[in-house]
Chains A and B, each alone.
Chain A
Amino acid sequence: MVPRKVTIQAGATGGPTKDITVEVHDLDATPWGADAKLTHVGRDLPRFDGPVKATGAARYTYDIFRPNMAYCRLVRSPHAHAVVTSVDVSAARRVPGVLDVLELMRTGGRITFAGKGVVAVCAETEEALDDGLHAIEIAYEVLPTAVTTEDAARAGAPRVDPKRANKVTTKRGVQKRGDAAKALAGAHKKVSGIFRTAVQTHSALEPHGCVVEPNGDGTFTVWASTQGTGSVRGGIAKALGLKPNEVRVISEHVGGGFGAKFGIDEWDRAAALFARKLDRPVKSMISRRAEHLVAGNRPDSIQDLSLGCDEKGNLTALAGTVLGTPGNGAGGANAANSRVYRIPNLDMTQSSVSTFTGRQRAFRAPGHPQGVFALEGAVDMLAHEMGADPLAFRLQNDPHPLRQAQWRLGAERIGWDAKRKVAPGAGAGPVQRGVGCGASVWRSSGRGKWVVNLEITREGSVTVSNAVQDIGTGTRTILAILVAEELGIAPGRVTVRIGDTASPAGPPSGGSTTAPSIGPAARGAGRRAKERLLELLVGEWEVASDAIRIENGVFTASGGKRATFDEACALIGPEGITVSGQRRRNYAGFHNETAGCQFAEVAVDTETGIIKVERVVAVHDAGRIIDPLTARSQVVGGVIQGISYALYEERQMDRNLGDMVNPTLDTYRILGIRDCPRIDALLTTMSSGFNNAGMMGLGEPTTVPTAAAVANAVFHATGVRMLTLPMTPRTVLAALRGAR
């Protein structure tokens, strides 16, 4: 088995390309170049799970009702910092319908965030559960707390971890190159600002949770709302002292994740323990309030930045400090504010500040929306100082060949040149309009050596299987498209079985890696199956395999030999064809970063402070796009979440009580349909070269630049720089007043 060297044209269709030579694994399919002519890949195809989702037939974890199922929920601490002084579960145990009680914390145990589970209750019905939860008596010794980054960073603040200060600077948090201090001192122009962003909660509509069912033979079946079926299998197996193959995890549909749903949590562990002890299925789904409090969030940030450039407008240095809170943990609160542009001198120190709040979790492009908001704000300020067009200024400093093309594409679509003829803040009347832009950056070429199984029967049924979950991105559908492309059949003929650990392990959906991690394995499986079908035809027709052509699902060879896909399948024995395709190590790529940029047009009512985003043009790259229809949905979704982050979302904490003030969907505001603008999703399709399908990921980069583009548009509209997210009417009016 020797790898073969092939040269492919990597890069964008109709854009920048370069020929790269890659060593392809012997068993892998040759990567498609930018010039590949494909039948199904790259064409709009409605997602396979659309009909079941639109008719309510799709079963999510929350929708699993098993015979004899019991219900579990936790009594959670209302205090952020406290010691449990007594727990009395005796009254709860007497409540009719209560089956069991599990103490999650002992007397003397210390609580470091509101919402920590103290006791788990299991009951016959949700009504009995409700009564049982309210019968639990817990006493606490309440201790002083600090729930905001600034409060917890103060000298003398109560410590989350008594053994260390709340503020932690890890090695990764310190980035230095060149001499930023010197470069800033000698800069032709320099800007400084303190940018602030709020804590954002994931707010997936399906809460975290699971149903755990004993199978009667010591093994368990688990339905879980998760971004990683394998991580749940491992977690539940560990909780029950079992081997992973004694636990089967099913996750057919997932009601949103956005980074917060990996592994298991204390409510899942409790469900597993109850299920084993009571020998019956147990359902444990957390409440909306718990979702906000304990199930993940994006850290806030306080980014004190200085950015300088030379007289030609070339960026020379970025320096500053960043604080952000990861909740009651340490680390993971950095802001990605030094990527995108060519900046020779850098001096950043990022620190996380532990607070008495629920722990951060990965949230759609961790560190990036906040980092790019600050970076792009500073770049916009510097362009203004230089008297330069902010787009021309960016083009001058952006090293990414594809983003260079994207900036121009987006600018043309939004009418940049005409709209920027009006100087910032020069508009007349109470409602002022402006356009702004921001860059996206991400790295998502996929990873791992995942295996996809493919089975073809003599009746012509084609089934592709893997344990990977589809969290709403369209994974199910692109697997079918990739297999169909190889076999020359309609994608609708392919049955996709995913979200079940009975199939080969699948990648977790994090880092926008799902599609580029599993897609190439599906294409590889399709190629292996096609080879097997060709072998059968070679035997039947007595021709060489390379003499057989496949087009539109029809196999032909000279001499009028012809077989449809079904006719070819009829040659398969009763044992069927089962092959697997494995993803290979990444090959050389066109560029190791995905590119993107967004333009926003806003109307700012200077009397009310209300910002209305009227239009967004989003230009993104994700390597080869397999299904543009679902890919555009990803882009639109990222933009909508980005606008929501820019204008509304903020976890508000009571600084004295330490509890969240707005843990509901009516008080934690997210963007609604009436505030949703027209969104143009433009995809610059390209062949990345990294894998046989040229794919990269798309989920995360789409939400990275939105808030920056909106804030920069607000500056163009009003001439006032918004340094704080969310940009609420209150902060907008304050900024406008301050500028007068």
Chain B
Amino acid sequence: MAKGSDGEGGVRRRDLFKSAGAAAAASAFLNPLRAFGQEAGGGTGTPSVGPGPVEIALDVNGGERKLAVEPRRTLLDALRGDMDLTGAKRVCDRGTCGACTVWMNGKPVYSCMVLAVEAEGSEITTVEGLGTPDNMHAVQAAFVAEDALQCGFCTPGFVMSCAWAVKEHGTELTDETLRESVCGNLCRCGTYTHVVAAALSAARAAEGE
């Protein structure tokens, strides 16, 4: 009797927890931001949580959001399904395409690779927090003006990566630096040249301010 494949492939997040042993270890293992440079074993004092829903509070776009999530739920799914912030998209769900990009403490992360429970205590900024249709961030306005979007499904991710590059490099932003900053984002319609034009134009606009 063969176990059915759900067509998803790969390891399930819940199984990953089990195989990693202690929840604390799993948490450290799964959190590249926190685990880097730390001892990825026990003794970190991280409390064990789950597998049932856990009450957490997230700092999203400058406001506190309280929710109950299973520890295996990603930040991406919590943003989309629990907070109705659907700008970040689920495309590859494995840290390849960047459509789920949000900022954690001002830096871009793939929200499909962060567990919601790990995001507690960090400042989360989503594309909705950057600007609104009536009051767009300079990068968002430049995306519209340069037509740096077609189907638009990758666009929120590109906007977050580009806005970070503009914030980080300002008027020093070059074509090459920009491309390096957003090379973790994929687009299928083929907007890349327009994305570069938009980001560089937003960076230049920043100079005029």
- The interface of chain A, by Cβ under 8 A from chain B, is 46-47, 49-60, 62-63, 65, 73-78, 86, 88, 115, 118-119, 126-127, 130-131, 133-134, 136-140, 203-207, 253-258, 286-290, 293, 471-474, 629-630, 632-634, 636-641, 663-666, 670-674, 676, 678-679
Quick check: A50 and B153 within 8 Å, CB to CB?
no
| Contact bitstring B112-146, A, C-beta under 8 A = 1, else 0 | 00000000000000111011111010001101110
Assess whether B28 is interfacial by the CB under 8 Å rule.
no
Quick check: B5 and A471 within 8 Å, CB to CB?
no
Assess whether B159 is interfacial by the CB under 8 Å rule.
yes
Assess whether B194 is interfacial by the CB under 8 Å rule.
yes
Interface residues of B in 8-27 (CB under 8 A from A): 8-9, 12, 14
Residues of B within 8 A of A52 (CB): 133
Nearest residue (CB) in A for B148 is A54
What are 6 A-B residue pairs whose CB atoms fall within 8 Å in the complex?
A50-B143, A54-B149, A55-B156, A126-B77, A137-B1, A637-B190
Q: CA of A562 to CA of B154 in the docked complex: distance in angstroms? A: 48
Residues of A within 8 A of B147 (CB): 46-47, 50, 629-630, 632-633
Quick check: B8 and A205 within 8 Å, CB to CB?
no
Residues of B within 8 A of A62 (CB): 86, 89-90
Assess whether B166 is interfacial by the CB under 8 Å rule.
no
Also in contact, A130 and B14, with CB within 8 A (given A54-B136, A289-B7) = yes
Q: Quote the shortest CB–CB distance from A312 to chain B (angstroms).
A: 40
Nearest residue (CB) in B for A134 is B6
Quick check: A53 and B149 within 8 Å, CB to CB?
yes
Q: Quote the shortest CB–CB distance from B97 to chain A (angstroms).
A: 5
Also in contact, A205 and B87, with CB within 8 A (given A76-B5, A118-B4, A633-B150) = no
Assess whether B35 is interfacial by the CB under 8 Å rule.
no
Quick check: B92 and A672 within 8 Å, CB to CB?
no
Also in contact, A56 and B88, with CB within 8 A (given A137-B3, A637-B189, A676-B193) = yes
Assess whether B73 is interfacial by the CB under 8 Å rule.
yes
Nearest residue (CB) in B for A69 is B81
Option from B3, B86, B97, B150 in Cβ contact (under 8 Å) with A63: B86
Q: CA of A131 to CA of B90 in the docked complex: distance in angstroms? A: 20
Residues of A within 8 A of B203 (CB): none
Quick check: A127 and B73 within 8 Å, CB to CB?
yes
Residue of B3, B182, B190 ringed by the most chain A CB atoms within 10 A: B190
Also in contact, A676 and B72, with CB within 8 A (given A55-B127, A55-B131) = no
Quick check: B186 and A136 within 8 Å, CB to CB?
no
Assess whether B49 is interfacial by the CB under 8 Å rule.
no
Quick check: A119 and B182 within 8 Å, CB to CB?
no
Q: CA of A73 to CA of B196 in the docked complex: distance in angstroms? A: 37
Q: Quote the shortest CB–CB distance from A489 to chain B (angstroms).
A: 21
Also in contact, A54 and B140, with CB within 8 A (given A59-B86, A255-B153) = yes
Q: Quote the shortest CB–CB distance from B184 to chain A (angstroms).
A: 9
Also in contact, A54 and B153, with CB within 8 A (given A65-B81, A74-B7) = no
Q: Quote the shortest CB–CB distance from A96 to chain B (angstroms).
A: 10
Residues of A within 8 A of B97 (CB): 205, 665
Additional pairs, 5, CB under 8 Å, beyond known A206-B151, A630-B147: A51-B134, A54-B155, A140-B2, A636-B191, A673-B192
- Secondary structure of the B contact surface, majority rule: loop
Q: CA of A670 to CA of B126 in the docked complex: distance in angstroms? A: 26
Nearest residue (CB) in B for A136 is B4
Give the 6 A-B residue pairs with the shortest CB-CB distance, closest first: A56-B87, A640-B190, A255-B153, A637-B190, A472-B151, A53-B152
Nearest residue (CB) in B for A681 is B193
Residues of B within 8 A of A57 (CB): 87, 128, 132-133
Also in contact, A54 and B143, with CB within 8 A (given A75-B5, A204-B188, A256-B153) = yes
Quick check: B150 and A472 within 8 Å, CB to CB?
yes
Q: CA of A242 to CA of B171 in the docked complex: distance in angstroms? A: 59
Quick check: B127 and A673 within 8 Å, CB to CB?
no
Quick check: A674 and B180 within 8 Å, CB to CB?
yes
Assess whether B59 is interfacial by the CB under 8 Å rule.
no
Nearest residue (CB) in B for A288 is B92
Q: CA of A630 to CA of B147 in the docked complex: distance in angstroms? A: 7
Residues of B within 8 A of A77 (CB): 5
Q: CA of A58 to CA of B89 in the docked complex: distance in angstroms? A: 11
Residues of A within 8 A of B191 (CB): 633, 636-637
Assess whether B185 is interfacial by the CB under 8 Å rule.
yes
Quick check: A138 and B4 within 8 Å, CB to CB?
yes
Residue of B7, B131, B134 ringed by the most chain A CB atoms within 10 A: B7
Quick check: B188 and A133 within 8 Å, CB to CB?
no
Quick check: A139 and B9 within 8 Å, CB to CB?
no
Quick check: A63 and B80 within 8 Å, CB to CB?
yes
Q: Quote the shortest CB–CB distance from A256 to chain B (angstroms).
A: 4
Q: Quote the shortest CB–CB distance from B172 to chain A (angstroms).
A: 19
Option from B7, B88, B90, B145 in Cβ contact (under 8 Å) with A290: B7
Q: CA of A206 to CA of B97 in the docked complex: distance in angstroms? A: 12
Residues of A within 8 A of B196 (CB): 673
Residues of B within 8 A of A286 (CB): 7
Quick check: B151 and A205 within 8 Å, CB to CB?
yes
Nearest residue (CB) in A for B145 is A46
Residues of A within 8 A of B40 (CB): none
Q: Quote the shortest CB–CB distance from B17 to chain A (angstroms).
A: 12
Q: Quote the shortest CB–CB distance from A259 to chain B (angstroms).
A: 13
Also in contact, A51 and B133, with CB within 8 A (given A136-B4, A640-B192) = yes
Q: Quote the shortest CB–CB distance from A583 to chain B (angstroms).
A: 25
Option from B6, B91, B133, B151 in Cβ contact (under 8 Å) with A254: B151
Q: CA of A630 to CA of B186 in the docked complex: distance in angstroms? A: 20
Option from B4, B77, B186 in Cβ contact (under 8 Å) with A137: B4
Q: CA of A50 to CA of B140 in the docked complex: distance in angstroms? A: 9
Option from A75, A127, A473, A671 in Cβ contact (under 8 Å) with B70: A127
Nearest residue (CB) in A for B150 is A472
